[in-house]
Chain A
Amino acid sequence: MIDVQNITKRYGHHTAIDRVTFSVAKGEVLAFLGPNGAGKTTTMRILTCFMPATEGTVRVAGFDCADQPLEVKRHIGYLPETPPVYQELTVTEYLTFVGRLRGMGGRNLTSALDQSIGRLELGSVRHRLIGNLSRGYRQRVGLAQALLHDPPVLILDEPTIGLDPKQIIEIRELIKSLAGSHSVILSTHILPEATAVCQRVVIISGGRIVAEDSPEQLSARLRQSEKISVTLKNPSADCNAKLREIPGVLNIFPGEQAGMFLIECTLGRDIRDEIARVVVSHHWGLLELRTISMTLEDVFLRLTRHEDGLTQPPATAHKGAPASQETTP
């Protein structure tokens, strides 16, 4: 449905995105993850034909963005970062305007209007001026705008920003319900959102795609070591050295509180019993012992900090570890 081949966007000497290639199948929901300034919005603007790519080709629903921009635009519903609403119009007036720009009219438009107002639960505010609505409502009006013509492709730039937790869940459910019949690309900062909603994740950093896979696959692929968290009641001064003697231990970092250690060990080797024995034999007082699984958040941090994170030896990426220790393997 969406086929992006080697797109590059340069602003003068600055390269915003660099040879980005990915595709989205029909009915697939794809998350676009990346830190601020990674090129997410630029990529979305190119996909929606708002701006042309310096190099590369983009095809949406079988149409080329450079040659048939109007056809591409007709097949896309787009929610930009800031909801594109006119404050002086009421919700109904605004959506009517949007529908007319898309060539809808008559009964067709009325039913589309009712449907998208119903879907986003805007019924109670449909005759109010958008300028008087809260940020969450405006965001939903923006989403209603993108969904109005029931497009096969939806491009949503941070769709849940500014919503309260209940609304976030509702919108995620809505996006999930669109999967199958619509191809959706959504950009987000919120990692659980990507895990909850998307089948596939593209991580972009510094204008380049650094990883692309399902959330589960990504964490599995990146897991080169396992981490175990140990909390001791009375650790001695040499406990760090003693723990390091256990076979399989790669690294030890202090945890966030006193007596807590994060032990990194080789993959596929469960050394929790070894650790327990050492701790007990030295009478350090074992309070807690658990493995830490790698979340998408760890994957994200690792990939966006080290662009070649897939090949580099793992620096600690556990978010609980103090920042000063994170770069000292």
Chain B
Amino acid sequence: MTPVQAIIAKELRGYFVSPIVYVVGAVFLLIFGFLSYLYIVFAGAQAIQLMQMQGGPASINLNDLVFRNLFASMRFVLLIILPILTMRLFAEERKLRTFEFLMTSPIGIHEIVLGKFVSILLIYLGLLGITGLVPTVLMLFSEFDWNPVLTGYLGMALLGALFLAVGLFASALTENQIVAAFVGFGILLTFWLISGLGALLGDTTAGHIISYVSFMEHYDRLVRGLIDTSDLVYFGSGLLLMLFLTHRVVESTRWK
């Protein structure tokens, strides 16, 4: 077992003995399930309306009515929930003085950062996997196109990974977990809101740059079923940038 694997195993163990994963996971799944239910009922109501108007069986587009709405709503849920999952990663180590132990172990800082990030990513992907029940069950009763659903899931995975990296960065900044969570919300909310600014500036260079920096349009394209290399590059580079910044912050704590 390499040091990175050892850190992943230890973090997973730490998450599963603390209530945080169960509470956050339950809330996440509850919201996902509830939103799915709402959008499905709404779609059903629309189908009945259409049927009455047309007088025969109506076909409704579940991809548009259920999944696009569902994935779009999940952005906000992820923004709230993921910083809570990541807040303990470095802050707790510093609070409990185990940080000094990690830093004096013969492993690189990049291994610590990577181990912690992968551990929480695995938990998140696990939760995302459970939500796969919704489209699977829906498939039994209805027909829809799987491709946009899969790209939507890819979007959720990439967006979640980026959010987790931001949360990890926030956690490295402080030894207070609550502060770490709020810094995480703050950064994510800022990147959400600047998409509004980008839209306001419209078709100008500044407008394009600002819109590109925000995660909104990249995620939206994936939810609509479009896989564009530029979006993948955006998530990939954003993720690497956040992990790099986390590395620098952790490194800098040695100098304080």
Q: Which residues of A contact B (CB under 8 A)?
A: 11, 45, 48-52, 70-71, 73-74, 76, 78, 80-82, 84-89, 93, 97-98, 100-103, 105, 145
Contact = CB atoms under 8 A, between A and B. Distances in A.
Contacts of A80: 97, 100-101, 104
Given A49-B104, A82-B97, A86-B96, 7 more contacts: A11-B256, A51-B255, A70-B106, A76-B104, A84-B96, A87-B96, A103-B3
Interface residues of B, number: 27
Contacts of B106: 70-71, 73-74, 101-103
A105 B6 CA distance: 11
A267 to B, nearest CB: 46
7 contacts: A50-B103, A70-B108, A82-B97, A84-B97, A86-B10, A97-B9, A98-B105
B101 A105 contact: no
Contact of A145 (B101, B254, B255): B101
Contacts of B6: 97, 100-101
A102 B1 CA distance: 11
B140 interface: no
A50 B254 contact: yes
A50 B98 contact: no
Interface of B: 1-3, 5-7, 9-10, 13-14, 17-18, 96-98, 100-108, 254-256
Given A97-B6, A102-B105, A105-B1, A88 B255 contact: no
Contacts of A81: 97
B13 A89 contact: yes
A112 to B, nearest CB: 15
Contacts, number: 71
Contacts of A11: 256
B104 A51 contact: no
B3 A100 contact: yes
A258 to B, nearest CB: 49
A84 B256 CA distance: 20
A88 B13 contact: yes
A88 B254 contact: no
Given A73-B104, A100-B6, A86 B98 contact: yes
A45 B100 contact: yes
A71 B104 CA distance: 11
B73 to A, nearest CB: 34
Contacts of B5: 100
B14 A88 contact: yes
A276 to B, nearest CB: 57
Nearest to A142: B101
Q: Which of A70, A71, A101 has the most C-beta atoms of chain B within 10 angstroms of its own C-beta?
A: A101
Contacts of B7: 101
Nearest to B92: A86
Contacts of B103: 50
Nearest to A149: B106
Contacts of A105: 1
Contacts of A51: 254-255
A52 B255 contact: yes
A47 to B, nearest CB: 10
